A and B are shown apart, each in its own frame.
Chain A
Amino acid sequence: MAESNQQGCLFVGEGVVLKGNFEVPDIASISGTVEGEITAKQVLIEATGVVRGKLTGESIDIRGEVVEYVSATRSLIIRSTGKVTGSINYSEIEIEKGGHLHGDLHNLNPHS
């Protein structure tokens, strides 16, 4: 889906180091390292991907590593290779067996 229409998407390849704040209207796929803030509709942190800073999005899928802050307004999935450290906000969460989670977990809509 992302390959056919890359409009509004950010791809960070393996080995690439990116520093700064990024506003992504559609998909952010990270295989490299990002230091700073990412806001995207959909975020994919691949197994080699590392994000140090703030990560915000509707749906977030983590196979790599995220340090500091994650906020997913719709769904957050931490895969078996995923590692998340810091403050986490979610409305729906799934953690596969083997996934790491270290920090504070908050439900954005606890009464649903």
Chain B
Amino acid sequence: MFSRKPNQASSEEEVLGTEAEEVVEQEVAPPVVTTSEQASSNGYYDNGSRSNISKPSIISEGFVFEGTITSAGVLNISGTVRGKITAKSVLVDASGQVDGELNSEQLVIKGQVKGDVICEDLNIGPLAHVDGNISYKYIHIQRGGKVAGKFIKS
């Protein structure tokens, strides 16, 4: 007990000491930190936007997502999504399922989609089931694709 108390006290002192040191560092550091942060964040941003285009976001098989997805890049759905999806390019794979709104420039459906679809380029695979209102610019339905709903060419 006796030995612990001084230890705790000393550890508290140490903490206080380090905090004080940190404060000092922060006071000294700011201009340097902000410039380096800006530089690094810019660099990261560039990398981020590039990787958004090259690397797809993936909802894997067995994964269920409920909510809104927004992406400037590619989205591959092999699992289930309930909610609203907005992305530049969306692929609903054979095992994929979407319940809800789907907005995409380029859309490939091999699985199941229930809900309203707004897209420019639509490709529906032979095993796909699509049910809902579809607004499109260019459409391609492969033989065997099951489609029901209202089609609007924009």
A contact residues vs B (CB 8 Å cutoff)? 75, 77, 92-107, 110
What would 9 A/B residue contacts be, using CB atoms closer than 8 Å?
A: A75-B143, A92-B144, A93-B143, A95-B141, A97-B140, A102-B153, A103-B151, A107-B148, A110-B148
Shortest CB-to-CB span from B147 to chain A, Å, is 5
B139 at the interface (CB under 8 A from A): yes
Write the chain B residue with the least CB distance to A98.
B138
B149 at the interface (CB under 8 A from A): yes
Write the chain A residue with the least CB distance to B141.
A95
Shortest CB-to-CB span from A8 to chain B, Å, is 27
Known contacts A105-B147, A105-B148, A110-B146; decide if A94 and B153 are in contact (CB<8 Å). no
How many A-B pairs have beta carbons closer than 8 Å: the answer is 46
When distances are taken between beta carbons in the complex, the residues of chain B under 8 Å from A93 are: 141, 143, 145, 147
B142 at the interface (CB under 8 A from A): yes
Checking B143, B149, B152 against A92 with a beta-carbon cut-off of 8 angstroms, the contacting residue is B143
Shortest CB-to-CB span from A71 to chain B, Å, is 14
Complex Cα distance, B116 from A86, in Å, reads: 19
When distances are taken between beta carbons in the complex, the residues of chain B under 8 Å from A75 are: 143
Complex Cα distance, B150 from A104, in Å, reads: 4
Known contacts A101-B153, A102-B153; decide if A94 and B142 are in contact (CB<8 Å). yes
Complex Cα distance, B147 from A106, in Å, reads: 7
Known contacts A106-B148, A107-B148, A110-B148; decide if A101 and B139 are in contact (CB<8 Å). yes
Complex Cα distance, B151 from A106, in Å, reads: 11
Complex Cα distance, B150 from A57, in Å, reads: 22
When distances are taken between beta carbons in the complex, the residues of chain B under 8 Å from A110 are: 146, 148
Contact B140 A96 (CB under 8 A): yes
Complex Cα distance, B146 from A99, in Å, reads: 17
Per-residue 0/1 for B62-73: is the Cβ within 8 Å of any A Cβ (1 yes, 0 no)?
Answer: 000000000000
Residue among B140, B149, B152 with the highest chain A CB neighbour number at 10 A: B140
Write the chain A residue with the least CB distance to B146.
A107
Contact A95 B140 (CB under 8 A): yes
Write the chain A residue with the least CB distance to B151.
A101
Shortest CB-to-CB span from A93 to chain B, Å, is 6
Complex Cα distance, B149 from A93, in Å, reads: 14
